Amino acid sequence: METDRSLYRRPLPADLIDFSSPHGRRLLAEAIALGTAESFFPLVAQLHTQSEPAWCGLGTLVTVLNALEIDPGRAWRGPWRWFGEELLDCCKAMELARAEGLTLSEVACLARCNGAEAEVHHAEPGTLAQFRADLEASCRAPTGHFLVAGYSRGALNQTGGGHYSPLAAWHPGEDRVLILDVARFKYPPHWATVESLWRAMEHPDPATSLPRGWIGLSRAQTMPPAIDAEAEALAARLRVCP
């Protein structure tokens, strides 16, 4: 009889706090009271589970672009315009994204050509203070900018390699950040210390040899125009990275 080799979730490492645990709930309640969880509500309302093992970057962008209330300008299902992973069809072929995942710059490129402004920061030496400042500003902003972290799972004692997820809240007292993990089939949303996440972002991406890092995403000042159904297929083929 063949053994079932499929997987169902992973236990969180001891130094990470499950979002739904009593400790995790207390951290969120206190962050809400302090005003450092304003970004939590729009992000959790749109939290998307990545649909392919390598699509954490795409799943994260679906969450953030919908939380920013950006109109994709083209149909998703039926008459409805809404971001799904299949609409993020610029910068890198979907087949390559499925096989290889995305670099930090490719995630930013996808965001820009879908109506967002993207500020990329690599976790280089001396950038921890900037990350803290960006994190606090983001967590206090209910309409963005929102932060996306690109980090090494191994550095957080998780299984797997590079990963992307949105950051939704910050607890000043325990200096923890809430990671809304888009691989919800693997790990639940969880709290990590800011410093441990920054160290995980320091790890280089083998595809670029550069440190991983974070991206600040907000609505672009000039939104891309909507396109009709007849032009949709052509526009998808012609769309290029700005």
Q: What is the pLDDT of residues 88-120, one digit of tens each?
A: 988 888 888 878 889 999 999 999 999 999 999
- Mean pLDDT, residues 114-139: 97
Say which amino acid occupies 82: W
90: DSSP letter: S
- Among 181, 190, 203, 205, which one carries the catalytic annotation? 181
181 is catalytic: yes
190 is catalytic: no
Q: What is the pLDDT of residues 217-231, one digit of tens each?
A: 999 987 555 444 444
User: What class is the 17-238 domain?
Assistant: alpha beta
The pLDDT value given to residue 223: 55
Domain ranges of the chain: 17-238
163 is catalytic: yes
CA distance 214 to 238: 28
Q: Nearest Cα to 193, choosing from 214, 172, 213?
A: 172
pLDDT(167) > 80: yes
Q: Nearest Cα to 215, choosing from 125, 112, 141, 143?
A: 112
The pLDDT value given to residue 221: 82
- Among 48, 56, 90, 109, which one carries the catalytic annotation? 56
Q: Residues 55, 49: contact at Cβ < 8 Å?
A: no
The pLDDT value given to residue 81: 95
pTM of the predicted model, to two decimals?
0.90
- Among 121, 122, 145, 163, which one carries the catalytic annotation? 163
